């Protein structure tokens, strides 16, 4: 099956086989013209985690099927995938590492979502280059407030921004570290669900972590 990916670039990370024989992070942007460097959480310290930015594949069904059956995949040539079987012991290890990858990746995306939803992305109120007094003047005018109340409102909004930003990021850091130290897939799923609940995603289930294992 040939797939054409259009629209937004989609960023995925999976463990893949390299020509060197290493298993690495495989990072690709489906449908993206030029790969954009993104934050890559490191969670597999005992595997080689070099990031590989690959081109958009023209055929992926074979690639995904191989991944699910724990065959190693690699680039045979520029646009062609090759496959090799994986020994069972290694497959179990890769399964756990994959779970960690999925969990951290989805938590990372969830953090992005929560930040955007709460107006934390490029919010000018927290721009250090701006003059606080000017912002207070704007608030005073727009909300018809006294200078004192406008300053109070500005300080509250700024504190709210910092507070929320910090808490979300702390949750992310804590969950990534906990996932790195997880010993089983079940542990990874539990940390994942708890993290998403703490981020306000109450309907979190482990399917995103285990669905592709």
Note the residues at the interface with other proteins (CB under 8 A): 1, 3, 5, 8, 10-12, 30, 60-61, 64-65, 68, 105-106, 109-110, 112-114, 116-118, 143, 145-146, 149, 152-153, 156-157, 159-160, 163-164, 167-168, 190, 193-194, 197-205, 208, 211-212
Closest distance between other proteins and the C-beta of residue 40, in Å?
14
For other proteins, give the closer residue by CB, 31 or 82. 31
- Spatial CA neighbour of 103 closest among 29, 211, 24: 211
Closest distance between other proteins and the C-beta of residue 21, in Å?
26
For other proteins, give the closer residue by CB, 93 or 165. 165
For other proteins, give the closer residue by CB, 53 or 149. 149
Closest distance between other proteins and the C-beta of residue 175, in Å?
13
- Spatial CA neighbour of 32 closest among 9, 58, 6, 4: 9
For other proteins, give the closer residue by CB, 12 or 92. 12
Closest distance between other proteins and the C-beta of residue 188, in Å?
14
For other proteins, give the closer residue by CB, 37 or 202. 202
Closest distance between other proteins and the C-beta of residue 158, in Å?
9
Closest distance between other proteins and the C-beta of residue 148, in Å?
8
For other proteins, give the closer residue by CB, 47 or 164. 164
- CA distances (Å), 50 to each of 68, 129, 136, 167, in order? 21, 36, 47, 29
């Amino acid at each position: 099956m040939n797939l054409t990916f259009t629209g937004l670039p989609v960023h995925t990370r999976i463990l893949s086989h390299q020509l060197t024989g290493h298993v690495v992070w495989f990072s690709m942007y489906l449908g993206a013209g030029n790969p954009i460097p993104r934050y890559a959480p490191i969670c597999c310290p005992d595997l080689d985690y070099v990031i590989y930015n690959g081109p958009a594949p023209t055929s992926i069904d074979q690639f995904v099927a191989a991944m699910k059956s724990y065959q190693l995949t690699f680039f045979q040539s520029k646009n062609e995938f090759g496959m090799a079987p994986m020994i069972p012991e290694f497959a179990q290890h890769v399964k756990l590492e994959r779970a960690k990858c999925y969990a951290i990746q989805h938590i990372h995306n969830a953090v992005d979502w929560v930040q955007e939803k709460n107006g934390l992305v490029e919010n000018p109120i927290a721009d250090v280059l701006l003059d606080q007094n000017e912002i207070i003047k704007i608030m005073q005018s727009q909300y018809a407030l006294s200078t004192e109340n406008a300053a109070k409102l500005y300080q509250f909004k700024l504190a709210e921004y910092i507070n929320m930003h910090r808490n979300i990021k702390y949750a992310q850091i804590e969950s990534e570290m906990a996932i790195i130290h997880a010993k089983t897939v079940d542990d990874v799923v539990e940390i994942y669900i708890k993290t998403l609940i703490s981020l306000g995603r109450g309907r979190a289930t482990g399917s995103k972590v285990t669905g592709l294992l």
